[in-house]
Amino acid sequence: MKAERSSDRRLASAAPPAAVALGAGLGLLLQGPKGAIAGGVVGLVIGIALWRVFARRGERRRAALARELPAPSRRLLAERYEHYRRLPSDLRRRFDDDLKLFLAEKRITGIGIEVTDEMRLLVAASAVTLTLGWPEADWDVLAEVLVYPQAFDRDYSFEGEDLAGEAHAWGTVILSAPALRESFEYPDDGYHVGLHEFAHLLELQQTEFAGIPAGLDASTSREWSAVIESEVERIRRGRSVLDEYGAEDPVELFAVAVEAFFELPGEVRQHHPRLYALLGEYFRQDPATWEADERVHRG
């Protein structure tokens, strides 16, 4: 994520003239020339207020980036997040910056639980992992993260334990705190509830989960659809390293594939090369190579 969002720059520069034009137009329509002048003045005031909103957001982001990520946070990530440890040094610095912006801007709310700094960090690390290769990404699709004290049922009560997480089309992600901690404690089992649920928001297209990433061109979408369909069939035949939950439907297959891409990158590249290539191109990341380099470095 960049310190200053390109969209904020555009909106900040466009807001005053647009507000003046709109105010003048409405004033002219309602009260003639005098109304146009008054409306233009009101529009100018509103435009300046909007400009300040966008400008101040840039100031807050620069201030967040200027602060060091606390040493305990870096230590926790180094100890408990294998993907973070294997990142090249330049990407690890970008990861830290993205974490700071995510934590400064995104709402993480506990439901029946106090959200600790550790839990906030694990939530942010889950999201930032996916968008690390996209410098312009800001998780605008995310409205709020709700942290539950345990697994929950489909009525969002704690009487059953059907779900460890859930993503909603309106941008809310729900995560079970114990499941999220477990996801970081066992890094090579292909299960990570944080990666899984945030991945669902990446396939959100016009309020529907599509099973493939949003924003692809027609040709790439067809390729993704073919690969997803093939991978579902491989799971059903027992010939896949992906979790069997991915065979539920294409929507779940995508999220399961994302989990495996970051948790089992070497195995995915070896046994599912076409899928790995698509995911690597999409995320602009190569965790299998980083994993191999880290093993060589460890000796």
Give the 3-state DSSP-derived string for 186-211, with helices as H, strands as E and coil as C: CCCCCCCHHHHHHHHHHCEECCEECC
Cα angle 119, 121, 126; round to 5: 100
Question: What does the pLDDT read at residue 156?
Answer: 84
Indicate if the pLDDT at residue 299 is higher than 80: no
pLDDT computed for residue 19 by the predictor? 57
Equal fold, 68-185 vs 203-299? no
pLDDT score for 28: 60
Amino acid 62: pLDDT: 76
Q: Where are the domains of the chain?
A: 1-66, 68-185, 203-299
CB 24 within 8 A of CB 40: yes
pLDDT, tens digit, for every residue of 250-298?
Answer: 899 999 999 999 999 999 999 999 999 999 999 999 999 999 887 766 6
Give the Å distances, CA to CA, from 261 to 96, 186, 246: 21, 15, 13
The model's pLDDT over 90-127, given as tens digits with 9 standing for 90+, comes to 999 999 999 999 999 999 999 999 999 999 999 999 99
Rounded to whole angstroms, how far apart are CA atoms 279 and 257?
Answer: 8
The CATH class that applies to domain 203-299 reads alpha beta
In this structure, what token pair is assigned to residue 242? 């992906």
CATH number of 68-185: 1.10.472.150
Q: Where would I find the H helices in 67-81?
A: 71-80
pLDDT value, residue 30: 66
98 Cβ contact list (under 8 Å, min separation 6): 1, 128, 131, 132
Q: Is the pLDDT of residue 143 over 90?
A: yes
The Cβ of residue 183 has, within 10 Å, a number of other Cβ atoms equal to: 26
More confident residue, 27 or 135: 135
Give the Cα separation of 245 and 252 in Å (integer): 7
Per-residue model confidence (pLDDT) at position 65: 75
Average of per-residue pLDDT values in the chain: 86
d(CA 98, CA 64): 10
Query: What is the per-residue pLDDT for 199?
Result: 97
Q: What is the pLDDT of residue 130?
A: 98
* Angstrom distance (rounded) from CA 216 to CA 165: 26
Distance between CA 239 and CA 284 in Å, rounded? 27
pLDDT-based confidence at residue 27 (cuts at 50, 70, 90): low
